[in-house]
């Protein structure tokens, strides 16, 4: 029996978490751009500020969880963690709730936004559930602290598999495992072994291994030699920010978090910028590029490419840039320029 | 004038007949050839140093070799070394020889001075950063176990004593060199107890140096700042692993692993090597490795032995070759061979009229 290809585009629901500070305004910018591009996305806005559930445990509001579980796809702006004692980190809570095990950051040089590095085109894939961020620490005796780094076979295999799948699905040529198995023989050794095992099933992708320090050394001299990088939590944290620095910082870097059960949450990784919130000065690029990542993840490559092209063209043109990009235009002006270009592209 | 070590608590090793004996560990990869060049230059310049060569075989599981090396360093007080390879094919119980050496000799401070060199083409200019890295504990404690099959725990140890000690070293060095600011690099927002303790110790020590500004920065932000605006940093102090990352980023920023020397200091012993500790297997024995880092490391060693004139002479020759003659090896975009660079350095030393041997 043949399955028919629908000729009309089905609207897909995405859970939108505007976030705090500049979150709401950059989310509006993204929604406006998507509307102009006629992307088949229906936004379902939700708030994820933690509440105390039955039993006193912190959790995200049930309607937010329900929406994500159904839509499977989320787009999130920056969140602030309330200072209240015992309040968990919001990002950590989301991570645990949806088992967001892979943090993916494509770092591509933005033509028109000049940094000392051109031609950067790599992706960092970071294991996001264990490693050095297990949160297990104790004071053994006064003045001696032990922090535990946890590496498991399962988590290592899972992230390696994701990295190779990602490489295959996105036409990337190689995957490099980043480690320090010369020093952390057992833990990073285990991580490395799992990567090697998974690599056996992906002979079409080149697999290499490199020490973390060698990666850092080479990355700042010639980032073009890198393609997809996979690594445990801490190295991923450091390297993904280093790479964001190469292309211009967190204000222009997209990020995606892949969870179990097909859940994926895309987010901007900059802060809430409370000092400029509500003043129409924010730069929506990071959230927009994350939304583009989301479109590609959903198979809507044409829309993704169209929006990304318009965004990059606006930046390259330099006429309507927000302050952080070197201009003095408003967020709404920047957004309007992108929308205009999308209409012209059609 | 090149940095001296804060040697107020370190006596120079005993001299026999006016000569010093230094332990030399060739290591693997490019280590042996680079250290041969050091010996060549020293012989040529009539440097009063004799090398006691100790080989460490990275392919054997027993620790006899490395223990011999450690004993030799205890005897001589000073060493110059190449990197000893850590083979992954061996069991996890076979620990990094380099790390064993550092912890056994309690070489608690790894010091690296990254400066932009006028003759080297890089993306960033005017970098002048001193990195002081805790060298014995942290993530390099080599304490790991597999509690259950497939679940491995690796312990990162941070102690008050070692944190105070390294912070103290950093501030003393900063004051000695006339530096204005010390930045502690950490991840205390996540590792609240471990890095929290480190940060607290830095603050305590900082309070005793009101003339020096102290601030702190989270490690991921630090790397981002380094690749965009490295000129903002002065002196940086940090635990072991972040030190590994930051050293390599900084070395890359000023031109790569072939340029920067490194020193490992304890209260009693000192070991000199290239800053980024690379084995360089792929370029070994091809006469293309950059001898600069290792030669500059040997100059740091000469300063440590208070042979300042020899240190300056060789250092000037190296920098002249780098910046004036611009004879560069491939890693910094040139076409010179290792031996050509070394010959040029020796010719410059000779031209300065000092006593040299036949060559």
Q: Which of A217, A242, A244 sits opposite B257 (nearest CB)?
A: A217
Structural contact between residues B35 and B294, judged by C-beta atoms closer than 8 angstroms = yes
**Residue ranges of B 216-235 with Cβ closer than 8 A to chain A:** 219-221, 223-228
Q: Which of B260, B283, B280, B284 is nearest to B272 (CA)?
A: B260
By CA distance, what is B86's nearest residue in A? A182
CB A287 within 8 A of CB A18: no
Q: Is B246 exposed, middle or buried (0-12, 13-18, 19+ CB in 10 A)?
A: buried
DSSP A109: -
Query: Which of A95, A185, A188, A208 has the highest number of chain B CBs within 10 A, making it the mutation to test binding with B?
Result: A185
> Dihedral of CA B326/B330/B335/B341: which sign?
positive
Closest chain B residue to A186 measured between Cα atoms?
A: B92
CA–CA gap between residue B120 and residue A230 (Å, rounded) = 32
CB contact under 8 A, B249 and A217: yes
Would the CB atoms of B144 and A185 count as touching at under 8 Å? Answer: yes
CA distance A217 to chain B (A): 5
Q: CA-to-CA distance for A23 and A7, rounded, in angstroms?
A: 35
Please report which helix (H) or strand (E) contains residue B217, including its range.
strand B213-218
The answer to whether the beta carbons of residues A58 and A88 sit under 8 Å apart is: yes
CA–CA distance, B182 with B237 (Å, rounded to integer):
7
Is B278 in the A-facing interface, judged by CB distances under 8 Å? yes
> What secondary structure letter does DSSP report for B322?
I
A12 to chain B, closest Cα gap in Å: 35
* Nearest-angstrom CA–CA distance, A333 and A338: 9
pLDDT single digits (tens) A174-218: 999 999 999 999 999 999 999 999 999 999 999 999 999 999 999
Closest CA of chain A from B8, distance in Å: 27
A162-172 burial code (b ≥16 CB/10 A, e <16): bbbebbeeeeb
Task: Using alpha carbons, select from B47, B82, B78, B58 the residue that is nearest to residue B291.
Answer: B82
What proportions of chain B, in percent to the nearest 5, are helix, strand and coil?
Answer: 40, 20, 40
Question: Can you give the pLDDT at residue A88?
Answer: 74
Is residue B289 a contact partner of residue B30, using CB atoms and an 8 Å limit? Answer: yes
Residue ranges of E strands in B17-175: 20-25, 49-53, 78-81, 109-115, 128-134, 144-148, 151-159
Q: pTM, whole model, 2 decimals? A: 0.93
Chain A residues touching B241 at Cβ < 8 A? 180, 234
| Selected residue of A158, A238, A324 to mutate for chain B interface (largest B Cβ count, 10 A) | A238
Determine contact, residues B84/B281, Cβ cutoff 8 Å.
no
In residues, how long is chain A?
346
Distance from CA of A93 to the nearest CA of B (A): 14
Question: How many whole angstroms separate alpha carbon B141 and alpha carbon B46?
Answer: 41
Of A116, A189, A216, the CB nearest to B249: A216
Instruction: Encode chain B (359 residues) as per-residue pLDDT tens digits.
Output: 334 445 444 555 656 678 999 999 999 999 999 999 999 999 999 999 999 999 999 999 999 999 999 999 999 999 999 999 998 888 888 999 999 999 999 999 999 999 999 999 999 999 999 999 999 999 998 899 998 999 999 999 999 999 999 999 999 999 999 999 999 999 998 899 999 999 999 999 999 999 999 999 999 999 999 999 999 999 999 999 999 999 999 999 999 999 999 999 999 999 999 999 999 999 999 999 999 999 999 999 999 999 999 999 999 999 999 998 889 999 999 999 999 999 999 999 999 987 777 65
Give the pLDDT means over successive 10-residue stretches in chain A (346 positions): 51 96 97 97 94 87 95 95 70 91 96 92 97 91 96 98 96 97 94 98 97 97 98 96 96 96 96 94 97 95 95 95 93 97 91
Nearest to B228 among A143, A234, A245 (CB): A245
DSSP B321: I
Q: Is the dihedral of CA A180, A186, A187, A192 positive or negative?
A: positive
Mutate to test the interface with A, among B142, B147, B154 (most CBs of A within 10 A): B154
């Amino acid at each position: 029996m043949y399955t028919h290809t629908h000729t009309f585009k089905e609207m897909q629901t995405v859970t939108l978490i505007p976030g705090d500070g500049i979150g709401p305004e950059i989310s509006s910018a993204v929604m406006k751009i998507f509307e102009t591009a006629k992307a088949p996305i229906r936004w379902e806005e939700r708030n994820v500020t933690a509440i105390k559930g039955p039993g006193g445990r912190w959790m995200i509001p049930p309607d937010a969880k329900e929406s994500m579980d159904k839509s499977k796809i989320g787009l999130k702006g920056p969140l602030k963690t309330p200072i209240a004692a015992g309040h968990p980190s919001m990002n950590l809570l989301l991570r645990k709730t949806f088992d967001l095990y892979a943090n993916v950051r494509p770092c591509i040089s933005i033509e028109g936004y000049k940094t000392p590095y051109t031609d950067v085109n790599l992706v960092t894939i970071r294991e996001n559930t264990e490693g050095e961020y297990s949160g297990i620490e104790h004071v053994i005796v006064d003045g001696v602290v032990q922090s535990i780094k946890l590496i498991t076979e399962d988590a290592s295999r899972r992230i390696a598999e994701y990295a190779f799948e990602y490489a295959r699905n996105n036409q990337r040529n190689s995957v490099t495992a980043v480690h320090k198995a010369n020093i952390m023989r057992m833990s990073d050794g285990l991580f490395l072994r799992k990567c090697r095992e998974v690599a056996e099933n992906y002979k079409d992708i080149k697999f290499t291994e490199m020490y973390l320090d060698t990666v850092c050394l080479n990355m700042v001299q010639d980032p073009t030699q890198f393609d997809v990088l996979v690594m445990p939590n801490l190295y991923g944290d450091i390297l993904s920010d280093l790479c964001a620095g190469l292309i211009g910082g967190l204000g222009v870097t997209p990020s995606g978090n892949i969870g179990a059960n097909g859940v994926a949450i895309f987010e901007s990784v900059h802060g809430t910028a409370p000092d400029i919130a509500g003043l129409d000065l924010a730069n929506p690029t990071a959230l927009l590029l994350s939304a583009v990542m989301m479109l590609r993840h959903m198979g809507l490559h044409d829309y993704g490419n169209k929006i990304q092209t318009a965004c990059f063209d606006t930046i390259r043109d330099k006429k309507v840039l927000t302050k952080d990009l070197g201009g003095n235009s408003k967020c709404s002006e920047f957004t309007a320029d992108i929308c205009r270009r999308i209409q012209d592209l059609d | 004038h090149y940095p001296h070590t804060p040697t107020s608590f370190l006596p120079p090793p005993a001299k026999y007949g006016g000569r010093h004996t230094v332990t030399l560990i060739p290591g693997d990869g490019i280590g042996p050839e680079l250290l041969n060049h050091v010996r060549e230059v020293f012989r040529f310049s009539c440097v009063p140093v004799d090398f006691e060569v100790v080989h460490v075989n990275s392919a054997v599981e027993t620790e006899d070799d490395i223990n011999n090396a450690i004993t030799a360093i205890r005897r001589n007080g000073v060493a110059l070394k190449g990197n000893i390879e850590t083979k992954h094919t061996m069991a996890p119980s076979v620990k990094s020889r380099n790390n064993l050496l550092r912890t056994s000799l309690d070489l608690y401070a790894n010091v690296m001075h990254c400066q932009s060199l006028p003759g080297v083409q890089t993306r960033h200019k005017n970098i002048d950063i001193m990195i002081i890295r805790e060298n014995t504990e942290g993530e390099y404690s080599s304490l790991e176990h597999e509690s259950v099959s497939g679940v491995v725990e690796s312990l990162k140890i941070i102690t008050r004593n070692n944190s105070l000690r390294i912070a103290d070293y950093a501030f003393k060095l900063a004051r000695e060199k006339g530096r204005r600011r010390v930045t502690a690099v950490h991840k205390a927002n996540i590792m609240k107890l471990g890095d929290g303790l480190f940060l607290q110790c830095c603050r305590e020590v900082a309070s005793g140096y009101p003339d020096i500004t102290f601030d702190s920065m989270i490690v991921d932000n630090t790397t981002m700042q380094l690749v965009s605006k490295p000129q903002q940093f002065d002196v940086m102090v940090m635990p072991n692993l972040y030190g590994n990352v930051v050293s390599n980023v900084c070395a890359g920023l000023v031109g790569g692993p072939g340029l920067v020397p490194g020193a490992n200091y304890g209260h009693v012993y000192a070991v000199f090597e290239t800053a980024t500790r690379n084995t360089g297997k792929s370029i070994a024995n091809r006469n293309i490795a950059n001898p600069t880092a290792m030669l500059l490391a040997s100059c740091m060693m000469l300063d440590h032995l208070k042979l300042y004139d020899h240190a300056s002479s060789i250092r000037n020759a190296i920098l002249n070759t780098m910046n004036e003659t611009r004879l560069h090896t491939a890693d910094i975009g040139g076409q010179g061979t290792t031996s050509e660079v070394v010959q040029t350095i020796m010719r410059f030393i000779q031209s300065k009229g000092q006593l040299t041997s036949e060559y």
